[in-house]
Amino acid sequence: MGKAGTEFFWYATEPPQQLTRLLESEPLPPGLALDIGCGNGVLTSYLAQRFELAVGLDLVFQPLSRARTEFGDVNGASSFVQGAVPFLPIRDSSCALVFDRDCLRNIPWSLWPRYFSETARVLRPSGILQILFPDRRRKPILTVKGLRTVAKDALSRKSRGGPRVLSTSVVRPLLPPTLNVIREDRFLFQVPSGNRHPFTELVVRKS
Ligand SMILES: C[S@@+](CC[C@H](N)C(=O)[O-])C[C@H]1O[C@@H](n2cnc3c(N)ncnc32)[C@H](O)[C@@H]1O
């Protein structure tokens, strides 16, 4: 059972400033916004106020069902769909924006190339993919946390044979020729508890 709503440690009602800045500064074609790994739907509902349609997609039913109840009718422009990224139940060239805050890291690394070919498929020319992901660096092994991280990595199916950390240097070679990086940035993401976590922002535009 997945986490939902306020159970997310970073639950927040405000959109991240990386997203608001992008919408203010980057021209986008007409089309829909797709929020992949939408969780509680807060950000899908934000996007629904700015796009003709915002679709929130998540693997887990519980947060989706809460999202439908809470945000299912933002100006008639939001829709929540259950599905497994990277397989996107979306028509070719229909999205102006694909937004992902910490979904990519959750899918097996062997599917990461498919993630980018799928996002390239659903984006319109000049459409944008924005990915925000936490930088999880390995803690020094001589700490309890370090030992735990190493043990978790060893047991994880996700990391077996693949990169241990999602980073822009891992992502760049996976991008199809039509997706071009237009922004790469690091920032500190402050969660409601006040703790700050290092994150990376990657923005690519489809040619
Ligand atoms: C860390 S949460 C982020 C939620 C939301 N994007 C936010 O920033 O509040 C990751 C979300 O990705 C979803 N997820 C994980 N793997 C997925 C997959 N293969 N397909 C769709 N959603 C997935 C989880 O259910 C969860 O809601």
For residue 101 and ligand 1, the question of a CB distance below 6 A is answered with: yes
Range with top average pLDDT, 58-67, 117-126, 136-145: 117-126
Peptide linkage before 29 cis (omega within 30 of 0): no
Assign 4 a pLDDT band (cuts: 50, 70, 90).
very low
Question: Which pLDDT band, with edges at 50, 70 and 90, does 160 fall under?
Answer: low
Q: Measure the CA angle with vertex 201, ends 197 and 203; round to 5°.
A: 170
Determine the average pLDDT of the residues in 65-87. Answer: 90
Mean pLDDT (the chain, rounded) = 88
56 lines ligand 1 (CB under 6 A): no
- Who has greater pLDDT, 12 or 49? 49
- Find out whether the beta carbon of 59 lies less than 6 Å from any atom of ligand 1: yes
CA–centroid distance, 2 to ligand 1, in Å, is 9
Give tens-digit pLDDT for 83-138: 999 999 999 999 999 999 999 999 999 999 999 999 999 999 999 999 999 987 65
Nearest CA to ligand 1 atom 4: 39
Given pLDDT bands bounded at 50, 70 and 90, which one contains residue 46?
very high
What is the pLDDT, as a whole number, of residue 139? 55
Question: For residue 192, what pLDDT is reported?
Answer: 77
Q: What is the pLDDT of residue 73?
A: 76
SS (H, E, C) the chain: CCCCHHHCCCCCCCCCHHHHHHHHHCCCCCCEEEEECCCCCHHHHHHHCCCCCEEEEECCHHHHHHHHHHHCCCCCCEEEEECCCCCCCCCCCCEEEEEEECCHHHCCHHHHHHHHHHHHHHEEEEEEEEEEEECCCCCCCCCHHHHHHHHHHHHCCCCCCCCCCCCHHHHHHHCCCCEEEEEEEEEEEECCCCCEEEEEEEEEEEC
Contact between residue 84 and residue 116 where contact means Cβ atoms under 8 Å apart: no
Which residue's CA is the nearest one to ligand 1's atom 27? 39
**196, pLDDT greater than 90:** no
Q: Which domains does the chain have, with CATH numbers?
A: 5-136+165-206 (3.40.50.150)
Residue 1 has pLDDT above 50, yes or no: no
Instruction: Please report the pLDDT score of residue 80 as a whole number.
Output: 95
11-20, 31-40, 145-154, 196-205: least confidently modelled range: 145-154
Mutational test site, ligand 1, from 100, 103, 119, max ligand atoms within 8 Å of CB: 103
C-beta 192 within 6 A of ligand 1: no
162 pLDDT band (50/70/90 cuts)? Answer: confident
Confidence of residue 140 (pLDDT cuts 50, 70, 90): low
Q: Please give the Cα distance from 128 to 154 (Å, whole number).
A: 35
Q: Rounded to an integer, what distance in angstroms lies between the CA atom of residue 174 and that of residue 181?
A: 12
What type of residue sits at position 33? A
- pLDDT computed for residue 164 by the predictor: 74
